[in-house]
Amino acid sequence: MLLLAAQSAHPTIIAVLLTIVGEVLAVLVVWRILSSERGTSATISWILVILIAPWLGLAAYYLLGRNLHRRRLKRHAIRTRVLEPNLGAVDYDAPSGRETENPPVINLLCGFGTDAVHGGNEAVLLPDGEGFVRAAKHAIEHAERFIHLQTYILRPDETGLRVLAALTEAASRGVEVRVLFDSIGSWFLKGEHLVELHAAGGKSAAFMPLLWRHRPFTLNLRNHRKLLVVDGQVAYCGGRNIGDEYAHDRFGRAARWFDTMIQIRGPVVSRLHRVFVEDWYTAAEEDLSGPEYFPAATTVCSPGARIGVVDGGPDVQPSRHYLTLFQLLASARSSVTISSPYLVPNQTLLTALTTAALRGVHVSIHTNGKRAEAGILFHAKRYFYPALLEAGVEIFETREDYNHAKLVVVDEELLFIGSPNLDVRSTELNFELGVVVHDDPVVAESLMMIRDRCASSQQVREADLATGALSRALQRICYLLAPVL
């Protein structure tokens, strides 16, 4: 009887011990969260999840908690300093690029000091997928030395396989080809899809795979950058990944996919290439910082576009993208036009948006409507609408189409274009890449493109907002979950 009683009590004892251990660990982790530098909503979100379901919350925090992974990233960043002697010696500006002094605001935006912005560049807006694919294909087919492609999503669909075939052909004729993709974003890309590229001499690497050797189960810190550099002479960056919807501008059966890329030639290409070189070293530990990958800067056109590079990530806080967005909003004198698929800003950016509108700046935001957006993200951004509308911000939502373009146009003079969204993930968690273009025709073209796309959108009014208690509660919950999405 005693033996049977002990056996029946055994599962209960284990359950009690697991509960006690879970609660102790939960308290320790909660203390760690409270001691870290973290936004209020993120703090509340993690504490609630961990205390309500300790073991589930602890597992989620290990997988998603950015502070745990950031410490490892900082240590790894120290290792990448071996590249600095070569990268620091690169002349990122052509002689004629220094003739015109940079506006103070743009130096602050890019965060690289007085040499942040480089003149003598040529910038071409590529608003449609076919135009980008055509331009990129031409650059790949005429590459002579190297092709470096970095993307968040590389789908093994018709478009992705066609791109891989073009890269394989280039590698077979002796061009150095390197493909860097995010391991989670490109989850469906398998080794079998890269066999021919590798056989031709090309290389590929996944950024922070799930079982990354420097931090197992790294899930939440993703490389969201999109960049193609060919021979150090031409670069493409923006919001497009590699996949059918990005190439054909189709969303579902009938809706359109709105996105944008920018083609750049000139001295700033080397600054963009530096971003790839550092990320490639992180993923593949191959040093590409030699002069053979950074040709001497030459002016493409004079005076040309003045362009600065903004590369942000969770390894450097505060994020350069966070500072860039804040400074753009703070410096606006007459207008701010924003295109972003997601609208989940932190409190500081929300205050910057409303403050700009309240001091008379015309602020308009173009984002996705209910039919195009994922439910939790749609309700999360609707949480911010009352404050934005009350301040005078105009909000336009797509009806059927999907707006994936990420742009900010300020005073019809400054354009910020790249991979980041206007959300917590882009400003605090993702590795992102963008460029600031000053006083160039591409700025006006971008603004006109946004306005043309707005013709198919619907402006949100205060009367359109849900006022019920349940609806506001749902929006609040989705907002609290946003930092850990």
Catalytic residue among 224, 273, 321, 366: 224
- Where are the alpha helices (H) located in 236-316, listed in sequence order? 244-248, 268-284
Catalytic residue among 118, 148, 404, 438: 404
User: Per residue in 49-81, pLDDT tens?
Assistant: 777 777 777 677 666 665 555 666 665 566 677
What is residue 10's predicted lDDT score, i.e. its pLDDT? 62
**Which DSSP state fits 436?**
E
Catalytic residue among 231, 249, 401, 423: 231
What is residue 242's predicted lDDT score, i.e. its pLDDT? 97
CA dist list (Å): 433 to 223, 291, 305: 9, 23, 18
User: Per residue in 305-330, pLDDT tens?
Assistant: 889 999 988 877 777 888 888 889 99
Distance CA 370, CA 140 (A): 38
What is residue 428's predicted lDDT score, i.e. its pLDDT? 80
Q: Has 411 been annotated as catalytic? A: yes
Amino acid at 339: S
Q: Has 198 been annotated as catalytic? A: no
**Domains of the chain, start order:** 2-74 (no CATH), 119-303 (3.30.870.10), 320-484 (3.30.870.10)
Q: Has 404 been annotated as catalytic? A: yes
pLDDT over threshold 70, residue 284: yes
Q: Which of 473 and 444 is assigned the larger pLDDT?
A: 444
What is residue 104's predicted lDDT score, i.e. its pLDDT? 59
Confidence of residue 215 (pLDDT cuts 50, 70, 90): low
Catalytic residue among 273, 321, 406, 438: 406
Distance CA 54, CA 26 (A): 6
Helix 2-35 crosses helix 54-64 at what angle (to 10 degrees)? 40
DSSP 171-221: HHTT-EEEEEEETTTTTT--GGGGHHHHHTT-EEEEES-TEETTEES--S-
Q: Has 259 been annotated as catalytic? A: no
Q: Has 190 been annotated as catalytic? A: no
The encoded tokens of residue 462 equal 């205060």
User: Per residue in 354-411, pLDDT tens?
Assistant: 999 999 999 999 999 988 887 888 888 999 999 999 999 999 999 999 999 999 999 9
Catalytic residue among 118, 148, 226, 366: 226
pLDDT over threshold 50, residue 152: yes
Confidence of residue 3 (pLDDT cuts 50, 70, 90): very low
| Secondary structure (3-state) at 465 | coil
Task: Report whether 328 contacts 410 (CB < 8 A).
Answer: yes
The residue length of the chain stands at: 485
Catalytic residue among 115, 157, 287, 411: 411
pLDDT over threshold 80, residue 44: no
What is residue 103's predicted lDDT score, i.e. its pLDDT? 60
Distance CA 175, CA 171 (A): 5
User: Per residue in 98-143, pLDDT tens?
Assistant: 445 556 566 656 554 445 677 889 999 999 999 999 999 999 999 9
Q: Has 128 been annotated as catalytic? A: no
